Amino acid sequence: MTTTRSWHEGATKHLFFTGKGGVGKTSLACATAVRLADAGKQVLLVSTDPASNLAHVFGVEIDEHEPTSIVEVPGLFALNIDPEAAAQTYRDRIVGPVRGQLPTAVVAKMEEELSGACTTEIAAFDEFTALLTDPAVHERFDHIIFDTAPTGHTLRLLKLPRAWSEFLATNESGASCLGPLAGLEKQRQQYQAAVETLADGRRTSVLLVSRPQRAALGEAARTSGELKSLGVHNQRLIVNGLMPDTGSGDPLARAMRDHDAEALQNIPDALRQLPRDDVELLPMNLVGLDALRGLLGESQPLAIADDQSMTAPGADVPSLSELVDAIEADGHGLVMVLGKGGVGKTTVAAAVAVELAARGHDVHLTTTDPAAHIAETIESEVEHVQVSRIDPLVETERYRQHVLETKGKNLDDQGRALLEEDLRSPCTEEIAVFQAFSRVLREASSKFVVMDTAPTGHTLLLLDATGSYHRDVVRHMKEANRIITPMMRLQDPKQTKMLIVALPETTPVLEAAALQEDLRRAGVEPWAWVLNASLAAAGPSDPLLTARAHSELAQIEKVREQFASRLALTPWVAKEPVGPAALRELCHTAARSAKNT
């Protein structure tokens, strides 16, 4: 197989790396930024992922307000669009001018209205559109590379310029959650300019990154179609992580190559017409400049030490089924499966649900992920399992109709028209999804509900909305101790068990640990960790796979000793675990002894 890496040649002003979580967007975006800077270009690398790990990749702290110079790469600068920091700046800009001018109670109400997840998303989006349209940024940098959040979150980000442009153009009520419309002409122009920039193939290109997997390629195809509907046609496909032929004869390595070949043979038609680059699997994590430069170099030596050996992580690391034993003991409750995109949340959630159902329990398996693949993973109807999805579009329309039938019932024509206009705001979706989430929480009081969540950043916004609702209810009720809010259910381990899923690799473990701290700040204690797709647990003999497996052992021990009160390990499997039988097998498979190299 010939590996090509030509996507950086003839690069446009704006490069968006997007795709399903865990496909390697950050590594490819960082390697591209380094390559262009090494060629003498001035490059700005921007992360729009709420769970950004640019700091870990480059080994320097990345600023959230001003571009940070990557000193070892002249011409390269990096910037994180941090949603919370952006939200605070946004609130200060809106509320600051009226402090001291309006009554304290009025200012407090304004701050309360701007404290939700909707404001956080708008603020991050505001910075994103500024980078697309600011003449000073364009004059300073030859290329602006966006390392984006996983697909669902990114598609929403890319749709927002058009959504807000249309909303501002048609809103006649004089106000929105962006602030008073009278002062929004600058935003109106900025959002319209962003729409035009995204659609201009001479200025903007999108790199659809995928693994050679059915789900990832399917999502890339759907993303391609949605981008085209937004007018974004300049697209390219990068298939990352293809298993090379090392000549080892390892059955696991051979199965991986066969799996890759089958995935590419059945690539969706929507992707066949796109220019494509293939990138082979590497024996190490892409951290540090040498590794990044090697990714786009002429060769990729395995660099595996001759004396390297490895042992299995130990029989005392439980299988997923042993976690299900403890989940089952409470008889009902919500199991929330969380983590960064691409770590296998959907697979783990489906495996837990199928195992509980096999034991005779009624289970509702649902997802909040905009790019959900629950139905594809289950593949067929399973006795005792109900499958659903909290679809933002469906929930938003349901919420709109409910508000119009209740609050709008006795309004005159003008009042109803104003209410309908307000409900067209993109912020309406946040409220609708939160209400659907609350319904699922109530259902878990009498049965098992397993929830496959959206990638970390998106999920934290949902939890933030839950916390805001809780604080609002407690603030306005005289007998708060009689209230059971959704947040209180999430904080009770008898009612909700949070499973953090990660890969046994350096960066995913760090990201999962950061998620755990975010949950703890919200008063939620994670119940268990699941380290998924472990090569160390699969027992490879191929030198490349053994090198990757060897590097996992320290991470498994780190999680067990420092982070997880409960830990389960699932092995890497050559064939994607799809369908009830494969999911149950994954659930029950314990670590196999790994062979020494």
CA atoms of 201 and 228, how far apart (whole Å): 11
Residue 75 has pLDDT above 90, yes or no: yes
Q: Which residue has the tokens 């998303």?
A: 121
| pLDDT, mean over the chain | 78
- Euclidean distance between CA atoms 365 and 452, whole angstroms: 8
Task: Give the domains, in start order, of the chain with CATH numbers.
Answer: 14-210 (3.40.50.300), 320-393+443-588 (3.40.50.300)
Q: With a cut of 70, say whether residue 43 has pLDDT above it.
A: yes
Of 60, 55, 53, 58, the closest CA to residue 34 belongs to 58
pLDDT at 149: 62
pLDDT tens column, 191-207: 678 778 888 889 989 89
Percent of the chain with pLDDT over 70: 74
Per-residue three-class SS string for 112-151: HHCCCHHHHHHHHHHHHHHHHHCHHHHHHCCEEEEECCCH
In degrees and rounded to multiples of 5, residue 544 shows phi and psi of -65, -45
**387: nearest Cα among 450, 338, 333:** 450
| Most confident listed range (34-43, 52-61, 220-229) | 34-43
Neighbour-count burial of 597, counting CB atoms closer than 10 A to its CB (0-12 exposed, 13-18 middle, 19+ buried)? buried
H or E stretch at 497: strand 496-502
CB 546, CB 304: distance < 8 Å: yes
What are 332-347's pLDDT values in tens digits? 999 989 887 778 888 9
Q: What is the pTM of this model?
A: 0.69
CA distance 32 to 9: 10
Question: Is the pLDDT assigned to residue 297 strictly greater than 70?
Answer: no
Annotated catalytic sites, by residue? 22, 24-27, 49, 507
| Alpha helices (runs of H) in 424-476, residue ranges in sequence order | 428-443, 456-476
